Amino acid sequence: MNYQLIREECCEANLALPKTGLVDLTFGNVSVLDPDKSVFAIKPSGVDYGELRPEQMVIVDLEGKIVEGELRPSSDTPTHRRLFLAFAESGMRSVVHTHSRSAVAFAQAGRSIPCLGTTHADHFYGSVPVTRAMTAEEINGEYEWETGNVIVETFGQMDPMEIPAVLVRGHGPFAWNVSASKAVEYALALEIVADMALKTFSIAADSPGIDQTLLDKHFLRKHGKSAYYGQG
């Protein structure tokens, strides 16, 4: 099998993370799914971004087996795999995990990011949810896999492509989308709206958030069958 295309897409997206300011040190990773081959590429664990090359991306199948790669994959690989298994049918092909500071602040506070304005509404169709606290059994068991499970549990019947991000309580954000570049874009959008929300609450702690009509207008003009924003 030739996995060069997803290796290159994955490497390029991982290299983009420090350029966006979303990661410190090596705190972040991107994965890219090839749905036809049922495998994904993911960043190797702990490797400095400045050293990354496409051939270093690790290829993992959806059963968790390493298919190709000489390095260990990211420690978050089971979480990425769980999300692909749950959300890939919706069109999601890439997952981004960071420890971006403002989004982490909400995760550490155990608070969702409410939709306070149109910047948020352009990207997320409502509040970005926060997961419940993980149990001691989950933490001491298959921790990274269980992290994916609590994300999937949090979404329930929600459309993961309408709100393509989540905050893992006490941990940090995950974002996803139809391509690696889009997933990185949405990870950045998440950090931007988290920062805006923190500043809004510092001015008005009781801010009521956006009106549903305005939320509908801004989200649906960019997404869905009747979207008219951009060049199509």
Catalytic center residues = 122, 229
Type of residue numbered 22: L
- The helices-and-strands tally (H runs, E runs) of the chain is 8, 7
* Strand bridging mode 66-68 / 39-42: unpaired
Nearest residue to 84 via CA among 66, 61, 54: 61
For tokens 């139809």, name the residue. 178
Task: Calculate the alpha carbon distances from 168 to 3, 200, 208 in Å.
Answer: 30, 22, 24
For tokens 């609590």, name the residue. 150
Quickly count: other Cβ atoms within 10 Å of residue 89's Cβ: 10
Tokens of 108: 């550490």
What does residue 174 show for φ and ψ, rounded to 5 degrees?
Answer: -125, 140
Helix (H, G, I), strand (E, B) or coil at 222: coil
CA–CA dist 48, 231 (Å, integer): 37
DSSP string, 119-130: HHHTT-SSPBPB
